[in-house]
């Protein structure tokens, strides 16, 4: 990617000029605000809810804003917090990092093989620099894009990242902003795109000082975290502008190749121009000549956000396909608790999720008690991101156990062979590729009062599951605020060299090589979903027909019993996982074929 011109003046955060720095602070609830800069306190000029002061300052200087009450707060648009969320902000030089890979132009979406990682547990160091040293391993694996869990500044030394409170500041536990740029630069040099998970549906509980001075929340809407972020009430124009600028900041200054928007169904916005639409429009304006991939997590499964025109995304690039995960998970595990019960013993939903994306397309979902989803078969398969594991589906289990911890590798490989060779976009979760022994449990680092609430909330969350109905069972759930819980989640890279991990790693390398050579070239040819059917014995068959007439097909026996096919499989084999003998499919057998 060439140097990116910035044709706009940032609205939030310090404005750096040749002759000084303009410190700006939107605080309409405060009549007077003072700037504290390297120990010196200076009055700021107030006008229309904004407070500003132009003065001289050096990069590395620390500053904060002092409210009328005497409370000192960090800059909500801070670029770095060396002393965590309660400390002063640092004045950062945005041009300090010298990019090496200045010709990177990104990669087309259909080539994508995503790899989700959490910086703090991906390596023993838990830093951007440590993660960068492992990127070559991912490139050799067959990954083409990294999906970073959120890095925005959060309270304490460890967190999943979804409790961030300062969205412009990479967390100091992972390194400086220059370290994040170095990670992205290294990835680009290896041909890897990098995407960032961002959270605009809520703020974390500890360290969010914005309600003291700005109308950042509204009681007009309710979310699982309380009052909604204010995107459509009085004062919302600046709140929206803050988010839009944050989106553009990551794409321009850090050169991310895309963003994943967390739980957009909890972005409550009843205005005529929804925040998501404003984000999409703003991104299109700054990046007309390079691929920028915008991905949604949306529990409502709203196909309208994924609209295509002549095969090109006019809305968002893709959505995480939770339905695909659920059908594969229940096939392997047989679990039927909570929402898994809606997918158990329903092979038709497996076929539909694989062929069309959403398993529920407007039908009532019993667990939710109301309809879910929209028709999605008209969308191309690349509109959906498929996975067998991710941070939510592993980490939101009571003990953070991975699917291979309690089930046979044969079953797990069959499920993986299903999603890794499908024309949907596959995503691996860190360590999946070698059947990592480590769990990934929820963890955080908050003050003592909030810590007990987090513990209790975690235990209550699992009280509805039969195996955790008794208090003594819930007491065995790992403590989410314990340092040990965090440490046990760190990957052990050395185990990749030993059996059975080495064999699993070799398997993932082989199948991703087949995907790159056989499946990826076909994906642009698939302009809509496939067709599926379920045989008399429960064998699922799915076919995708391309515009050129090419047919990609798969037959699945994701069960522990042999099953008979209803008809002969046509086409040449691309991959056979398990065993096919005549018309019989052995347990955990997946057969992919291709007919030119």
Length of the chain: 596
In whole angstroms, give the CA distance from residue 352 to residue 145.
Answer: 27
Residue 52, Cβ density class (10 Å: 0-12 exposed, 13-18 middle, ≥19 buried): middle
For residue 456, count other CB atoms closer than 10 A to its CB: 11
Q: CA-CA distance, 339 to 324, in Å (whole number)?
A: 13
C-alpha to C-alpha distances, 361 to 230, 331, 371, 377, nearest whole angstrom: 30, 20, 8, 9
In sequence order, which residues have a C-beta less than 8 Å from that of residue 587 and are 6 or more positions away?
410, 557, 559, 560, 561, 562, 578
Distance between CA 129 and CA 127 in Å, rounded?
5
Beta strands 40-43 and 34-37 are antiparallel
Q: What is the DSSP letter of 159?
A: B
Give the residue ranges of DSSP H helices in 287-377. 322-333, 347-356
379: tokens are 């969308």
Residue 187 vs residues 243, 297, 402: alpha-carbon distances, Å = 26, 24, 27
Question: Could you give the residue numbers annotated as active site?
Answer: 262, 297
Which single residue is written with the structure tokens 């050096």?
Answer: 58
Continuous segment of H or E residues that includes residue 487: helix 483-488
Q: Side-chain half-sphere of 234: how many Cα atoms within 13 Å? A: 5
**Distance from C-alpha of 186 to C-alpha of 292, rounded to nearest angstrom:** 18
294 - beta bridge partners? 259
The CB-side HSE value for 129 (13 A sphere, CA atoms) comes to 8
Q: Which residues pair with 575 in a beta bridge?
A: 592
Give the dihedral sign, CA 507/513/518/522: positive
- Tokens representing 453 are 């609430």
Q: How many other C-beta atoms lie within 10 A of the C-beta of residue 361?
A: 18
Closest among 558, 560, 504, 510 to 535, alpha carbons compared: 558
CA distances from 14 to 59, 139, 198, 404 (A): 11, 37, 22, 48
Q: How far apart are alpha carbons 261 and 263 in whole angstroms?
A: 7
Identify which of 270, 258, 265 has the alpha carbon closest to the alpha carbon of residue 295.
258
Nearest Cα to Cα of residue 287 among 243, 325, 321, 247: 247
Q: Which two tokens stand for residue 45?
A: 């000029």
| Rounded Cα–Cα distance for residues 148 and 158 (Å) | 15
- Report the first-to-last Cα separation within the chain, whole angstroms: 36
ω before 500 within 30° of 0 (cis)?
Answer: yes
């Amino acid at each position: 990617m060439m140097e990116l011109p910035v044709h706009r003046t940032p609205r939030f955060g310090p404005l750096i000029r040749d002759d000084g720095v303009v410190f700006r602070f939107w605080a309409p609830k405060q009549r007077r605000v003072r700037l504290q800069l390297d120990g010196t306190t200076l009055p700021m000029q107030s006008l229309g809810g904004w407070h500003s002061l132009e003065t001289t300052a050096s990069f590395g200087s620390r500053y904060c804003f002092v409210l009328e009450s005497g409370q000192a707060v960090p800059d909500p648009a801070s670029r770095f917090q060396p002393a965590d969320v309660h400390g002063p902000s640092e004045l950062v030089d945005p041009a300090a990092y010298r990019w090496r890979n200045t010709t990177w132009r990104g990669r087309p979406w259909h080539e994508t093989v995503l790899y989700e990682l959490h910086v703090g547990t991906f390596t023993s160091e838990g830093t951007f620099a440590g993660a960068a040293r492992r990127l070559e391993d991912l490139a050799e694996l067959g990954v083409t894009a990294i999906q970073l869990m959120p890095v925005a500044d959060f309270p304490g030394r460890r967190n999943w990242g979804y409790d961030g409170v300062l969205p412009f500041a990479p967390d100091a536990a992972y390194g400086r902003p220059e370290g994040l740029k170095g990670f992205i630069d290294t990835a680009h040099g290896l041909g890897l795109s990098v995407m960032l998970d961002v959270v605009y549906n809520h703020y974390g509980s500890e360290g969010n000082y914005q309600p003291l001075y700005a109308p950042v929340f509204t009681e007009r809407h309710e979310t699982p975290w309380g009052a909604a972020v204010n995107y459509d009430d009085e004062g919302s124009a600046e709140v929206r502008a803050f988010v839009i600028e944050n989106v553009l900041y990551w794409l321009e200054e850090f050169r991310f190749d895309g963003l994943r928007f967390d739980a957009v169904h909890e972005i409550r916005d009843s205005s005529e121009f929804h925040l998501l639409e404003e984000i999409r429009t703003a991104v299109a304006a700054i990046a007309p000549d390079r691929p920028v991939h915008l991905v949604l997590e949306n529990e409502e499964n709203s196909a309208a956000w994924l609209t295509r025109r002549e095969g090109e995304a006019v809305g968002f690039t893709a959505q995480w396909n939770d339905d695909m995960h659920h059908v594969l998970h229940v096939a392997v595990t047989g679990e039927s608790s909570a929402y898994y019960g809606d997918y158990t013993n329903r092979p038709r939903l497996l076929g539909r999720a694989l062929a069309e994306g959403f398993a529920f397309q407007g039908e009532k979902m019993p667990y939710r008690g109301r309809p879910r989803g929209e028709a999605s078969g008209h969308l191309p398969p690349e509109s959906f991101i498929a996975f067998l594991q991710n941070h939510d589906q592993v980490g939101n289990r009571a003990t953070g156990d991975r699917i291979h911890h309690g089930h046979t590798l044969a079953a797990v490989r069959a499920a993986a062979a299903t999603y890794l060779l499908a024309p949907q976009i596959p995503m691996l979760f860190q360590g999946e590729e070698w059947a990592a022994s480590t769990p990934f449990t929820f963890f955080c680092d908050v003050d003592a009062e909030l810590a007990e609430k987090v513990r209790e909330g975690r235990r209550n969350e699992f009280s509805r599951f039969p195996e955790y109905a008794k208090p003594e069972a819930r007491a065995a759930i790992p403590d989410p605020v314990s340092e040990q819980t965090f440490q046990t989640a760190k990957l052990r890279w050395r185990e990749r060299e030993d059996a059975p991990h080495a064999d699993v790693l070799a398997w993932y390398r082989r199948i991703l090589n087949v995907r790159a050579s056989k499946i990826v070239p076909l994906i642009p040819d698939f302009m809509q979903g496939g067709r599926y059917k379920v045989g008399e014995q429960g064998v699922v068959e799915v076919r995708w027909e391309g515009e050129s007439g090419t047919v990609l097909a798969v037959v699945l026996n994701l069960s522990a019993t042999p099953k008979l096919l209803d008809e002969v499989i046509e086409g040449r084999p691309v991959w056979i996982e398990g065993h096919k003998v005549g018309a019989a499919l052995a347990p955990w057998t997946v057969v992919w074929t291709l007919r030119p």
